[in-house]
Amino acid sequence: MITEKKSTVTYVKWDRGANREFSEEVTVLRMDNGSITYAMGITEEGYLLHCYYGPAIGSDDISYLMRLADYPYTPNGNNRDRLLFLGDRPFEFPCHGIGDYREPCLMVLDEDGMSACDLRFVSYRKMKGKPELKQKGVSCIPATYAKPDEAETLVVTLEDSHCDIAVELTYTMFTKLNVVTRSARVVNRGYHDIRIQRLLSGCVEWDHSNFDMITLNGAWARERAVERCRLHSGKQSVESTRGISSHQHNPFAALVSRDASEEVGEAYGFNLVYSGNFLAETEVSTNGFTRFVMGINPYDFSWLLRPEEDLTAPELVMVYSGAGIGGMSRTFHDLYRAHLIRGQWKEKMRPVLINNWEGTYFNFDEEKIYNIAKAASEQGIEMLVLDDGWFGKRNYDDCSLGDWVVNEEKLKGGLKPLVDRINALGMKFGLWFEPEMVSPDSDLYRAHPEWAIQIIGRDMTQAREQYVLDYSNPEVREFIYSEIRAILDSANVEYIKWDMNRALSEVGSTSLPRKRQRELWHRYVLGVYELMNRLTTDYPHLLLENCSSGGARFDAGMLYFSPQIWTSDDTDAIERLKIQYGTSICYPASTMGAHVSDCPNHAIGRTTPFATRGDVALMGTFGYELDVTRISEEDRKAIPGQIAKFKKFNPIIRTGDMYRLGNLFEDESFDAWMFVAKDRSEAFFTFVQVLNHPSMPARRILLRGLDPDRSYRNEDTGEIRLGVTWMRGGVIVGAFGDFVSKTMHFTAV
């Protein structure tokens, strides 16, 4: 519900060079859904100030929360000290250059090269549901979606009368979720070009700094490690400057109360629906106030806006939880499963697949792949995914990217004979692509070297002996799509693994004009989105899994196109515990690509029990990353049981509420988690002993999420106890050897 507190205020609106006055009867705009409230206030001068965000508050007049009476520097009463007023206000969308020296959301350069911006309130409108994000000339901007009865949207328009721009701030509050989404759109209403130097998606302010900041950091093969730090004076930030959301930092941050745990305390979570350079920054001012901003990273960014052109910022998702970090996570999970992921696979159980990469790398032919598929089908595996090496002259990672034609030295007669043979086994077939890349040793690069991202005259930096294609160029996108389409139309391909194996460097385009070169970072991402949207629209049956050297682009922008993302190239079950834990802070288990791989593990050399590898992979989409013809007979015979277990419990894992019961970032001896059905009729519990100690006693693990007044049977032991007993008394888990797992199934009786 969107409401406003009435009070007549006069504003000045810039109208093509002529000032005109009008009256608008509003000083506070607020959004409520019964659980949370978001409110902003408008001063007499037309400044839009942040007022409140948090648990639902009463219907009283809350304009006092702008705290204007606390300060003697209000311009209408003391204009001589306007600078002091502007330097300390909780602006809803702060600008640069007029006296607010903290991090802004918007910086512009006008035709004279001046950068100040002074936004004032003009109007607002409200609507049921949630409109799509739009920008002229852009076909698809990923964002959450909602039906008219699932959300309400508020659009607030601000203007700067000097440089003649309008800024539309779009807020959507979901009816049944503690979620507010935000975006900003800048429109050039004048007659002269302007340049956007910085456009962030949103800002939230608090008049205290009693928070810890949680971020998800890491590197290749150890993505999304949880780090928690107390706020201090000055700035704390995470960002990407690599052209992708990155292994190093995920586009997620949370500000949590200092007492916050999994189930207790306040948590404000922020996630950007974007797959490129981002910035998430918290700034504590000298008076102890906190400002949080997030959006496209202004690093090396600018955007030329000609008259009547616009620029839309990515969507910022904001989640409030009064039930701790776990409550925040479960809200993100519910939102993304119901209101971000799309397509035919949105609510379906994914097929159990086997990927040949770690089983064969580049050394395979048609018979080898068929033999793996045949052996896999006999164990109940449902899909064979042919990874890198099937195209061009690709026998190593030094050539052929961009040449998406079948290597008939490996696959005689092309792709279709192999796919038909695999389909005849009752299995689906999937294929690996890396559509954003080109090898220097490729027919494509020899024909079109100008299609690679580059700065003319500078040496081009290789990574994995490859360059990045310029996806801002529509010719590039059209050519690559035509190649992909030819492959998809040649055989019954039902799955694509879309990989992206290097960051951007020497960021320049041979197709963009000089004044638009710094737009390439963002135009590249928009180009990727356009191609993914086209692919999933033309081939709606496809199951698309994103990948970027493992988990370098595990973000909400990618989830809009693919219901699952390869979580990490590190498939070691014990390493995956931390990786999957960190990923679950924001993203649901149904989105995590997770496989049982061979041992010793190819990334770190560790050997873990086959059963443990299976139990850990159950937390994600589940599959196999090995050569099933070469593993031990004992392990091969265990596969049907693992698949049966996946099919039995995946509905709870895919749709239920997740509770993290262990935390390897704090206690490296064990991990545990559980999933509870939405109706609380059953639960699935997993425990992994990581590090045993001499004379270690059995552990008592407290369950969560059960109905306290219902009785639950432990199907593994037959014990029946009330939910409250299982949650306060817990389950007793015996002492195991290292890397041993145990699962339990609880059903209401």
Could you report the per-residue pLDDT of 280-314, keeping only the tens digit for each? 999 999 989 999 999 999 999 999 999 999 999 99
In a domain, 662, yes or no: no
Amino acid making up residue 725 = T
More confident residue, 71 or 643: 643
Among 555, 569, 615, 635, the active-site one is: 569
Question: What is the domain range of residue 81?
Answer: 2-339
Are 300 and 364 within one domain?
Answer: no
Termini Cα distance of the chain: 40
Whether the per-residue pLDDT at 9 is higher than 90: the answer is no
- Kindly state the average pLDDT of the residues 721-731: 98
- Which pLDDT does position 3 carry in this prediction? 62
List the beta strands (DSSP E) in 26-87: 28-32, 36-42, 48-55
Structure token digits, residue 404? 């998406």
- Which pLDDT does position 2 carry in this prediction? 60
- Which pLDDT does position 14 carry in this prediction? 32
Domain count within the chain: 3
- Which pLDDT does position 697 carry in this prediction? 80
> 694: pLDDT confidence band, cut at 50, 70 and 90?
confident
The tens digit of pLDDT for each residue in 626-635 reads 999 999 999 9
The tens digit of pLDDT for each residue in 563-611 reads 999 999 999 999 999 999 999 999 999 999 999 999 999 999 999 999 9
* Whole-number average pLDDT of the chain: 94
Task: Select from 620, 655, 690 the last residue of a domain.
Answer: 655
Contact 686, 646 (CB under 8 A): no
Contact 669, 709 (CB under 8 A): no
Helices 610-617 and 573-584: crossing angle in degrees, nearest 10, is 10
> 10: pLDDT confidence band, cut at 50, 70 and 90?
very low
Are 323 and 385 within one domain?
Answer: no
Are 547 and 608 within one domain?
Answer: yes
Are 23 and 59 within one domain?
Answer: yes
- Kindly state the average pLDDT of the residues 692-720: 93
Query: Which CATH number do you get for residue 736?
Result: 2.60.40.1180
Query: Which CATH number do you get for residue 267?
Result: 2.70.98.60
Structure token digits, residue 106? 């918007």
Among 164, 499, 572, 627, the active-site one is: 499
- Kindly state the average pLDDT of the residues 70-92: 72
> 21: pLDDT confidence band, cut at 50, 70 and 90?
very low
In a domain, 733, yes or no: yes
DSSP β-ladder status, 467-468 and 564-566: unpaired
- Kindly state the average pLDDT of the residues 65-78: 66
Amino acid making up residue 77 = G
In a domain, 263, yes or no: yes
- Kindly state the average pLDDT of the residues 135-152: 97
- Which pLDDT does position 103 carry in this prediction? 95
Are 646 and 719 within one domain?
Answer: no
Burial 657-684 (b: 16+ CB within 10 A, else e): bbbbbbbbeeeeebbbbbbbbeebebbb
Tokens 């049944």 sit on residue: 176
Contact 314, 181 (CB under 8 A): no
Alpha-carbon dihedral of residues 82, 85, 91, 93, nearest 10 degrees? 20
Are 175 and 43 within one domain?
Answer: yes
Task: Select from 316, 339, 362 the last residue of a domain.
Answer: 339
Task: Report the percent of the chain where pLDDT is more than 70.
Answer: 95
Are 335 and 359 within one domain?
Answer: no
> 275: pLDDT confidence band, cut at 50, 70 and 90?
very high
- d(CA 155, CA 460) in angstroms, rounded, equals 44
Is 443 labeled as catalytic in the residue annotation? Answer: no
The tens digit of pLDDT for each residue in 339-390 reads 999 999 999 999 999 999 999 999 999 999 999 999 999 999 999 999 999 9
In a domain, 443, yes or no: no
Task: Select from 307, 339, 371 the last residue of a domain.
Answer: 339
- d(CA 556, CA 558) in angstroms, rounded, equals 5
3-state secondary structure of 534: helix
- Which pLDDT does position 19 carry in this prediction? 37
Are 392 and 425 within one domain?
Answer: yes
Least Cα distance to 509 among 518, 501, 499, 500 occurs for 518
Is 499 labeled as catalytic in the residue annotation? Answer: yes
- d(CA 101, CA 81) in angstroms, rounded, equals 15
The tens digit of pLDDT for each residue in 441-492 reads 999 999 999 999 999 999 999 999 999 999 999 999 999 999 999 999 999 9
Neighbouring CB atoms inside 10 A of 387's CB total 21
3-state secondary structure of 267: strand
- Which pLDDT does position 4 carry in this prediction? 54
3-state secondary structure of 366: helix
> 84: pLDDT confidence band, cut at 50, 70 and 90?
confident
Are 608 and 721 within one domain?
Answer: no
Are 495 and 564 within one domain?
Answer: yes
Whether the per-residue pLDDT at 73 is higher than 90: the answer is no
State residue 349 phi and psi, 5-degree precision: -70, 135
- Kindly state the average pLDDT of the residues 142-171: 97
Are 188 and 234 within one domain?
Answer: yes
- Kindly state the average pLDDT of the residues 430-435: 98
- Which pLDDT does position 25 carry in this prediction? 53
